[in-house]
Structure 1
């Protein structure tokens, strides 16, 4: 029988009776903040941070696994909007293609979304393409690999080492879809009806090779031929990038899926700002590399740098998924932004938070004349209102003066 522990993102810590090995595995896996209770043996204090989702930890000595589920503070529908917009801002999932009403928890909703997107992608059949294949054969086709023939066959005539382009369904796009399906089928908490749909998709992809564990994922480039796959591929990559599988100290197996809300918020803010600024005639780069010092020894990578048509930086933004403290925003963020503005030669810098006591605040740095703006986005509001707030921030960025 599976024991489920439910935590809420950034909520106060709770005391839970746990085997020490499981508590140590959770702490070592950077899943939640876990510490043993100094007064009660066998009890642990668990506190969820910014990672949401579910993981299962095998209990030593048999018995069912212990599943730790971390619930996000935002609704699942809003989380999927943030994810969908950051992956595909021109379409996202605002058109009702991903129905999360039937599955209020994150992992079931995600698994359902992946299954539906793959089903839509495969309705016209599996995509085919050319893949470079190397093999030995008794019949010559393609190009003979002379060096391999000499090295492996010692100059023998047959079999022949060949390389040729094969038109097949076993291509990167289909391999990624199958990898996501296989990964979801191993995760805890996928409902029976969704699992049945995933098994159906796996059957459709039966002729596609499974990516061995530990091997790098294949790459793909959007084009006219794979456009019907694009939504499914981006979502599949999200599953593969955020799924966890490891053996913790003591040989325990941890299997699950965790979203980092810090990364999700950063991706949404930077992509939404880039789209808004593009409509205003400016270009932006995400995670652009710059240096703080003249010797270029101290590297810094702001989340978002806006450039004028001539190529000079004109605004800098960092996204911070943090709740504003009662007495104000964290001071360390201000120091970081001051460094960005100084190095980039900007008179103003912008910090964007997930929520705050006020929608906007500004601080002028003494003896520097640099103004640091702090914006707060309310993620609980409707997507159209949220994007309108982003547009307001973008308008302020475009009008930011530089030194």
Structure 2
């Protein structure tokens, strides 16, 4: 009997770990891009050196072990960031960590499975949502509308059968299909605890009237409304599950993964949280904010640039400030030169007297660098590049307060005259 392969546990941005791994599994991990590096260990035959980067979660390698990547940030805080990014209006009203219930689990996949199951259970508490959906089929009797073109093409005008289209009141809606797909996906993930797995199986039975998603197709679209308001928290979390686990439901052209599992990119998660939180805070000052605002560095329009967030006046015409979020720790000297060069380019193109960088950690809550050879205002001072630090170990309310302070600093910025 073959002995089970032990799991491989890595730490986000931690040191490389030498693990016994077959050539096929090692190559699959290296090609997937989920790790910062995966190379054969030159000192030990049959071993690979694995080093995690910004992605956290768990993946199952083909013919190899389950690789678990633990985050530096507490799991409860990580899911607060995720919950806020998915539904900022709700999270801003209630900044408790319970906005996404992760239970007592301190690993990403168990906490995710628990959170999704609890949200689905809350959504279905008043019954399975039903709605009207257009159905096209062949039938022996006429119901609804006759599809004349299809009748002629398929049956040369003869009846029966007849090609018809009608609106059916059914539980097979886009919302229920998404929830069922997320449930089934979580049941296939490694590391889901037994009690959570049993509850997920129960939710799948409740959603049995919804058809399963077809492999290779994009996720069905749904529109927020009063009727599906109780579904919306579960839907947003379910979509995050499917986008983080299912390459078969990604848009055409995206690279397929060679492994199976769930991963969260902390770089993207931190960027989403910072920009969404700042956008919501700036609304209180009557300002607008554009995320990933496209611009060009050169006059010919050949070099593209997309700042994470550009603050604009209420009418959206005049830029007031620019922000870029960086999920990285400062170097020993406290400076990240490439980030400063990037921020200066943003300020120059937008004609702003200052630019702001927000980091996930740092030695000082705020510092700035005044750029030599620049004049950004009537006072004669040069362009200033601000670096802000956001300590993710702080409580959710403290994180939001810190971002509100940064938002207040942004409102004081003035563009070039």
Question: For this structure pair, what is the TM-score category when the shorter chain's length is used for normalisation?
Answer: over 0.9
Residues 98 and 116 in structure 1, CA contact (< 8 A), matched pair in contact too: no
Q: Are 1:313 and 2:349 matched, yes or no?
A: no
Change (3 A) 1:10 1:22: same
Q: Distance in 2 between matches of 1:97 and 1:340?
A: 35
Residue number in structure 2 paired with 1:70? 69
Residue number in structure 1 paired with 2:339? 333
The 5-angstrom pairing of residues 161-310 of structure 1 reads 161-244=163-246, 254-310=259-315
Higher mean alpha-carbon deviation, 305-314 vs 383-392, is at 305-314
Question: Secondary structure of 1:379's match?
Answer: coil
List runs of 5+ in structure 2 lacking aligned partners. Answer: 249-256, 375-381
Question: Secondary structure of 2:267's match?
Answer: helix
Q: Are 1:34 and 2:33 matched, yes or no?
A: no
Q: Which runs of 4+ in 1 moved over 6 A?
A: none
Residues 76 and 97 in structure 2, CA contact (< 8 A), matched pair in contact too: no
Higher mean alpha-carbon deviation, 89-98 vs 15-24, is at 89-98
Question: Secondary structure of 1:136's match?
Answer: strand
Q: Distance in 2 between matches of 1:334 and 1:7?
A: 31
Q: Are 1:384 and 2:397 matched, yes or no?
A: yes
Q: Distance in 1 between matches of 2:324 and 2:140?
A: 60
Higher mean alpha-carbon deviation, 138-147 vs 265-274, is at 138-147
Residue number in structure 1 paired with 2:19? 16
Q: Distance in 2 between matches of 1:379 and 1:148?
A: 59
Q: Are 1:154 and 2:167 matched, yes or no?
A: no
Superposed CA deviations along residues 231-268 of structure 1, whole A, max 9, x for unmatched, are 1000001100111568xxxxx96211000000100110
Residue number in structure 2 paired with 1:105? 107
Q: Distance in 1 between matches of 2:146 and 2:242?
A: 36
Q: Distance in 1 between matches of 2:10 and 2:355?
A: 35
Equivalent residues, number:
393
Q: Are 1:82 and 2:78 matched, yes or no?
A: no
| Alignment TM-score, normalising by the size of structure 2 | 0.91
List runs of 5+ in structure 1 lacking aligned partners. Answer: 60-64, 247-251
Change (3 A) 1:370 1:125: same
Superposed CA deviations along residues 351-385 of structure 1, whole A, max 9, x for unmatched, are 11100111111112222232111111000011111
Question: Secondary structure of 1:323's match?
Answer: coil
Q: By percentage of residues, which structure has more strand?
A: 1
Give the alignment's Cα RMSD to 1 decimal. 1.7
Q: Distance in 2 between matches of 1:221 and 1:339?
A: 38
Q: Distance in 2 between matches of 1:20 and 1:239?
A: 29
Change (3 A) 1:295 1:151: farther
| Alignment TM-score, normalising by the size of structure 1 | 0.94
Report the alpha carbon displacement of residue 39 of structure 1 after superposing the two structures with TM: 2.7
Report the alpha carbon displacement of residue 143 of structure 1 after superposing the two structures with TM: 2.1
Higher mean alpha-carbon deviation, 215-224 vs 31-40, is at 31-40
